Every structure is written in structure tokens, then in C-alpha cells.
Amino acid sequence: MTFLWMLEGIRTPFLDRFMQFVTYFGQELIIIAVICALYWCADKRFAYLLGFTYFTAGLCVQTLKITFRIPRPWILDPKFKAVESALPGATGYSFPSGHTQGATCLFFPLALRISQVWAKVLCVLAFLCIGFSRMYLGCHTPKDVMVSMTLSILISCVIWRYRDVLLEDRRYLRVIAAVLVCLSLAAAAYSLLLLKDGVIETRYAMDCCKAAGAGLGFAAGWYTERTKINFDPHTGSTQSKVIRLLAGLAAALLLKESFSLIFGSSILAKMSEYFILVLWVLVIYPYIFSRLLSRNKPL
């Protein structure tokens, strides 16, 4: 808390707005939008690598949150005040940082992939700045940020090291999908067990179950797309790719909002929502697009 109090002493309205802008790049919406852009329009292989990294690290972070159950800084020290604009995005327990995990899982693999040194440096600075913004805004302690960053880097390195096995070798498709399914189900079962025993509240169990639903969707979508669809993101002109991306994102947002309205906001509903949203990204939308493209091909 000493470091957070020091940062609180240098806050200004301009820095508050700037850090709020920086922290936005660690949010779920940005990470998923980048994965969609790569997957639908540019580099499906790298999008899969980001997906493996992001969803695996997300399961680990959410499980750690409900295991250690460390409150937010303003609860640890009632005298401490976070930047008010950051409060709506600071849900769940404090340790580890979810925003830092998302940012690291996006920018660290980019740093590994890019060959230019200056670009690598920019990617590293990006997730470091996002992690710092979480502390400046008062949402996380240095421990929250450093553990999340370290865990995400380790997972990124392991997945990068075995990327050919994950993305090229078809012999292990079922095994890899089964492992991710088991991890997701275990995280969901663990959170529901803690909820049943009264250890955690519904909102905390829901965050973990949403990550589990996304993990299940990724496992099912990755296996189905690799074995049945084999979508090619390089089809179409640049203009058609932009339209494809915007239409897909708009449909995903519509699906998310309508799903909540129809099925409510129970834990099972939210878990199902994230499962279907990831399936939309990996299977349903590529399948629809591929079918429409095949119909429009000349005989």
C-alpha cells in the first residue's frame, strides 16, 4: 500500500484521464477484438496462439482470485481512494490483476513474434504501462500486477515454445482439446464448490465460471474448426475484410446483449453466454462466411 499512497500523491486530472485510457487496452473487449481481427482477416495461426495464451492464463488468474480472495486496495485500507472512473472496471478480487493478464497475453506474444527490436520494445512497454496504470488508478497493488504479469509471461513462453504442436500437429488435437475442457470444468466446479460452502459470493464465482465458459468454447471451437471447417482468413479484398470484421463484431455484441435479455444473468447463463460467444468467433461466423463465399463462386 505504501507504493499506492505514493502514486496517489502525484495524481492530477490529466494523469487520471491518461491512465484510464492506457488501462482500457487491458480490457477483455480490446483483447477479443484483436483476436477476431487476426482470426477473421489476417493470421488465423497467430490468433489461435493468442487464444491459447489468453484463455489459459485467464483460467489461472480467476482460480487464483477465488483461492486467495484478497480484497481491493480501498478495502484493505479504507482511507485509500481509487480514481473514481476506474471503479466500474474493478470487479472481483484484487489478486492477481485481470487487466494486466489480458495486456501481457496480448503484447508479450506480439513481442515474441515481431522481428524488429524497436517494435519488441514498444510491445513490452505496452503491457508494463498497462500494469502500472492499474496501480496508479488504485485498483491493484504491485503484488497483484507482478504476479499476474509473471504468470502470463510464463504461460506465453510455454505456449510459444510448443506452438508447432498446438497449431500444426494434428495428432494431438483431441488430447489438447480435452485438457482445456478439463481445466475449464475444474475451474467452474471449484468456484461453485466455494460458492456452495459460502466461502465466496455469487459475483466472484460468476467471474470464474465466465472464464470457464470461454475456455470450453475455445476448446470446442478450435477442435471443430481445425477438423471440419479450415476457414481461410485471406479470402477477399481489404474492403471486404473490413466489412467482415465489423459485421462479425456487431453480431457478437448483439448476441451478447440479446443472450442476457433472454436467459438472464445467472451463473449458468453467463457461462453459456461466453461459451457461445467464443464459438461464434471460432466456428459459427467463419462457417456462415465460408458458406456464403462458396455460393457466390462462379461455376
Q: What is the pLDDT of residues 76-130, one digit of tens each?
A: 888 899 888 888 888 889 999 999 999 999 999 999 999 899 999 999 999 999 9
Domain ranges, ordered by start, for the chain: 2-296
Alpha-carbon torsion angle 191, 195, 199, 200, nearest 10: 80
User: Which amino acid would we find at residue 80?
Assistant: F
Residue 197 φ then ψ, to 5°: -80, 0
- Fill in the DSSP letter of residue 170: G
Bond before 96 cis per omega within 30 degrees:
yes
Structure confidence at residue 167 as a pLDDT band (50, 70, 90): confident
* pLDDT at residue 235 in the model: 82
**Of 169 and 203, which is predicted with more confidence?**
203
pLDDT digits (tens, 9 = 90+) for 65-77: 999 999 999 888 8
- pLDDT at res. 293: 65
pLDDT at 288 over 90: no
Report d(CA 40, CA 44) in Å as an integer: 7
Cα separations in angstroms, 68 against 64, 97, 219? 6, 13, 27
Give percent above pLDDT 90 in the chain: 69
Q: What is the DSSP letter of 70?
A: P
**Phi (first) and psi of residue 264, to 5 degrees:** 85, -165
Query: Has residue 298 got a pLDDT over 50?
Result: no
Which residue, among 145, 141, 144, has the nearest Cα to 130 in the 3D structure? Answer: 145
Q: Taking the CA of residue 16 as centre, how many other CA atoms within 13 Å lie in the half-sphere pointing to its CB? A: 13
Q: Are residues 254 and 194 in contact, defined by beta-carbon separation less than 8 angstroms?
A: no
Cis amide bond preceding 78, omega within 30: no
Identify the band that residue 208 occupies on the pLDDT scale cut at 50, 70 and 90.
very high
Q: What is the mean pLDDT of residues 217-243?
A: 89
Q: Alpha-carbon distance 190 to 200, whole Å?
A: 11
